[in-house]
């Protein structure tokens, strides 16, 4: 059994990670680190775990585990790894944005591989350190990378995407408080969202000639979880040609699927799937992309990466049922 350590165990992504590891046939939780909750039961914070696990949060770490998941706020993973040294055999998967960009990928001799399995599965298989993609970045890259891989992404890209309240984390603010979020809708960080850096990086990795704008409008929705994104750009080919491009790109994917029917959030919430749908209008190709921000956009993708890194079946522990009704 793989021995798992989780750092920053009180947040939403850590909670999902704990649930996934508990049901993974090849992994076992060794410790869950949280300085603010040390001594408390995991089920005191993640209350759906009552009866599932008696483990308590700890403020000490085991440096000789098989896999370390970092579920810390952005900027904190670097500081944590500077202070805590793990065995050279310990594989690390970071769920923050500290190591996603090439300029930040090498840290104290550790090279973090960008962990989007649909983009570079073979590199992940051979990696010791992985930078898990962002939630918006996952949904949006999966929407446009097939076009970049064919070098046909030659015009501006326009994106409107909405995320659930869990995307903002557990800390309360005006924009996450129930009375503000309920029956409400708003945008934030228009055109400058932090995930644009990794999106542009991977697009240019596949299509070096791409120099157009990616215009991204992120929105806050009045639901708990999920991302629903609509992406459009000019495309000279037919709808059938576009479908051929996408189906070929994802032919070996275990979790990303191109649907002939319109897609919606209930199909993917509580799963590690990304569902895509294509629609052609005049010279524009519309791509709809939908994921669960906490699973495919975070913890589920982290477990997928772990499976790849240890030579396990990709879907192990991730055969999840959508909360459809």
Per-residue exposure over 131-157, b if at least 16 CB sit within 10 Å of its own CB, e if not: bbbbbbbbbbbbbbbbbbbbebbbbeb
d(CA 87, CA 25): 24
The two structure tokens encoding residue 306:
């772990």
The H or E element containing residue 70 is: strand 67-70
User: Is residue 71 annotated as part of the catalytic site, yes or no?
Assistant: no
Tell me the sheet residues that pair with 69.
Answer: 6, 93
Catalytic residue among 21, 49, 68, 135: 135
And the tokens for 319? 């055969």
Task: At 99, list the tokens.
Answer: 């190591």
> Which two three-digit tokens encode residue 289?
């992309």
Q: How far is CA 11 from CA 30, 70, 283, 299, 314, in A?
A: 18, 11, 43, 11, 25
User: Cα–Cα distances in Å, from 178 out to 22, 165, 298?
Assistant: 30, 9, 23
Measured CA distances, 139 to 16, 115, 272 (Å): 18, 14, 12
By the 8 A CB rule, do 230 and 162 touch?
no
What positions carry a catalytic annotation? 135
């Amino acid at each position: 059994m793989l021995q798992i350590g989780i750092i920053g165990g009180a947040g939403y992504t850590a909670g999902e990670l704990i649930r996934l590891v508990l049901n993974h046939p090849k992994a076992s939780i060794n410790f869950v680190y949280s300085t603010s909750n040390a001594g408390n039961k995991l089920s005191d914070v993640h209350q759906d775990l009552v009866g599932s696990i008696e483990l308590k949060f700890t403020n000490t770490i085991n440096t000789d585990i098989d896999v370390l998941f970092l579920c810390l706020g952005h900027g904190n993973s670097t500081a944590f790894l500077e202070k805590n040294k793990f065995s050279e055999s310990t594989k690390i998967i970071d769920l923050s944005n500290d190591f996603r960009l090439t300029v930040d990928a090498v840290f104290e001799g550790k090279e973090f591989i960008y962990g989007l399995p649909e983009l570079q599965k073979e590199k992940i298989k051979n990696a010791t350190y992985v930078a898990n993609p962002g939630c918006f970045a996952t949904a949006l890259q999966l929407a446009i990378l097939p076009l970049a891989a064919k070098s046909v992404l030659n015009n501006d890209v326009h994106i409107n995407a909405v995320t659930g309240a869990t995307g903002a984390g557990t800390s309360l603010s005006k924009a996450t408080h129930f009375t503000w979020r309920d029956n409400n809708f708003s945008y934030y960080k228009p055109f400058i969202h932090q995930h644009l850096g990794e999106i542009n990086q991977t697009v240019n990795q596949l299509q070096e000639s791409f120099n157009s704008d990616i215009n991204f409008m992120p929105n806050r929705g009045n639901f708990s979880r999920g991302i629903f994104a609509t992406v459009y750009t000019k495309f000279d080919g037919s709808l059938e040609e576009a479908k051929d491009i996408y189906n070929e790109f994802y032919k070996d994917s275990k979790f990303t699927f191109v649907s002939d029917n319109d897609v919606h959030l209930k199909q993917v919430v509580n799963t590690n799937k990304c569902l895509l749908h294509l629609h052609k209008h005049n010279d524009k190709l519309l791509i709809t992309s939908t994921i669960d921000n906490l699973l495919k956009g975070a913890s589920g993708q982290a477990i997928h990466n772990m499976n790849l890194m240890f030579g396990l079946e990709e879907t192990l522990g991730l055969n999840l049922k959508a909360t459809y009704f």
